[in-house]
């Protein structure tokens, strides 16, 4: 049941998917790995859409150099934990949802536990080793991984449904070298909102997800395109998973 405030808050989107759809969002629990460039727009849009429970994890402190893109964090937050800053902003954006902000480094000892019973993982990380961990947990729990990555004016996104689509290791078997990547805030803004849109579509069972499709954005050309990607039968992460004949609930 929704309060009067919630009914007002979500009025314009319930024109799209009704109270039933809104109820689906309210019951959902989504895990966001990272409160940085991608994590900012992802968490903001999922919070205002009314995703009932959001767990957001980050280990960093807000730094001046983050502020050109990490729009959850303000000048006054420099030196604060990103999780504290994120929790405060998200609660202000929507007091009717639950925010779990956890200040920890995601590693192979805690990833599965942190993700817990979340029904989807948003990849808002800045490195492949952690992304591969999230990919492993998504496969083990059979929950989707909403991947995004950015560099400069370029970005990519895809939605991974274990057993149905290629996993992250099928698409990117080897990580690129580590670097301090150049970035301009609009790029994670674009890719993060695509990820958030995928999460909402997945929960509602609406539209077509970026399944088996790697969306590639070129901000300099203002051009987006997609590349079809396939499962790797020899994938070290997901090849043991039988191809699902029936797609999971809410996936068309």
Q: Helices (DSSP H) in the chain: which residue ranges?
A: 4-9, 11-27, 39-49, 82-93, 111-115, 128-141, 168-171, 186-204
The residue among 174 and 249 lying less far from other proteins, judged by its C-beta, is 174
Q: Which residues bind other proteins (CB under 8 A)?
A: 34, 36-39, 123-128, 148-152, 154-156, 171-179, 181, 183, 188, 216, 218, 227-230, 232
Q: Are 62 and 82 in contact (CB under 8 A)?
A: yes
**Between 12 and 223, whose beta carbon lies closer to other proteins?**
223
Give least dist CB 150 to other proteins, A.
5
Helix (H, G, I), strand (E, B) or coil at 73: coil
Q: Give the shortest CB-7-to-other proteins separation in angstroms.
A: 35
Which is nearer to other proteins, 11 or 65 (by Cβ)? 65
* Other Cβ atoms closer than 10 A to 105: 10
Beta bridge pairs of residue 226: 215
User: Closest distance between other proteins and the C-beta of residue 72, in Å?
Assistant: 13
Closest CA to 231 of 212, 250, 203, 206: 212
Q: Shortest Cβ distance from residue 124 to other proteins (Å)?
A: 5
Nearest residue (CB) to other proteins, 8 versus 218: 218
What are the CA-CA distances from residue 207 to residues 13, 157, 197, 200, 210 (Å)?
A: 15, 16, 10, 10, 10
Nearer to other proteins, 115 or 150 (CB): 150
Shortest distance, position 193 Cβ to other proteins, whole Å: 14
Calpha distance 157→195 (Å, rounded): 7
């Amino acid at each position: 049941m929704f309060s009067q405030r919630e009914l007002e808050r979500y009025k314009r989107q319930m024109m799209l998917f009704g109270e039933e759809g809104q109820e689906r969002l309210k019951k959902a629990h989504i895990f966001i790995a990272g409160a940085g460039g991608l994590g900012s727009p992802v968490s903001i849009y999922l919070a205002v859409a009314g995703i009932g429970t959001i767990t957001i994890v980050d280990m960093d402190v807000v730094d001046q150099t983050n502020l050109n893109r990490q729009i959850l964090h303000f000048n006054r937050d420099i030196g604060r934990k990103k999780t504290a800053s994120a929790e405060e902003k998200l609660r202000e954006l929507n007091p009717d949802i639950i925010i779990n902000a956890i200040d920890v480094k995601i590693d192979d000892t805690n990833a599965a536990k942190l993700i817990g019973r979340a029904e989807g993982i948003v990849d808002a990380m800045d490195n492949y080793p952690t992304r591969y961990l999230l990919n492993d947990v998504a496969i083990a729990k059979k929950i989707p991984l909403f991947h995004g990555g950015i560099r400069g004016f370029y970005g990519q996104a895809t939605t991974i449904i274990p057993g149905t689509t290629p996993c992250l290791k099928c698409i990117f078997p080897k990580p690129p070298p580590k670097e301090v990547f150049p970035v301009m805030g609009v790029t994670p803004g674009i890719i993060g909102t695509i990820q958030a849109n995928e999460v909402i579509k997945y929960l509602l069972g609406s539209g077509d997800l970026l399944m088996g499709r790697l969306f590639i954005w070129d901000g300099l050309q203002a051009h987006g395109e997609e590349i079809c990607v396939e499962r790797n039968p020899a994938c070290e992460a997901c090849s043991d998973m039988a191809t699902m004949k029936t797609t999971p609930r809410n996936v068309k």
